Copies of this chain bind each other. A is one copy, B any other.
Amino acid sequence: MSARSISFRHFILGLLAQQPMSGYDVKRVFERLSWLVGNPSFGSLYPALHALRDEGLVTVKVDEREDKPSRKVYSITDAGKTALEEWINQPIGSDASTKAFVMRLILADNYSHSGLITQLHQRRAQVATQCAALEERAGPREREVDFGKRLALDYGRALASTELAWLDNTLKRLFQQPLPTEGVPGV
Contact = CB atoms under 8 A, between A and B. Distances in A.
Nearest to A105: B152
Contact of A108 (B36, B151, B163): B151
Contacts of A36: 152-153, 156
Contacts of A159: 98, 159, 162-163, 166
A105 to B, nearest CB: 4
Interface residues of A, number: 41
Interface string A175-187: 0000111000000
A147 B98 contact: no
A105 B35 contact: no
A170 B154 CA distance: 10
A154 B108 CA distance: 13
Interface of A: 18, 33-36, 38-39, 95, 97-99, 102, 105-110, 130, 133-134, 146-149, 151-156, 158-159, 162-163, 165-166, 170, 179-181
A97 B107 CA distance: 21
A136 to B, nearest CB: 12
A163 B161 CA distance: 11
Contacts of A146: 18, 109, 181
Contacts of A156: 35-36, 102
A181 B151 CA distance: 13
A102 B108 CA distance: 29
A106 B152 contact: yes
B35 A148 contact: no
Contact of A98 (B98, B133, B153): B98
Residue picked from A130, A158, A179, most chain B C-beta under 10 Å:
A158
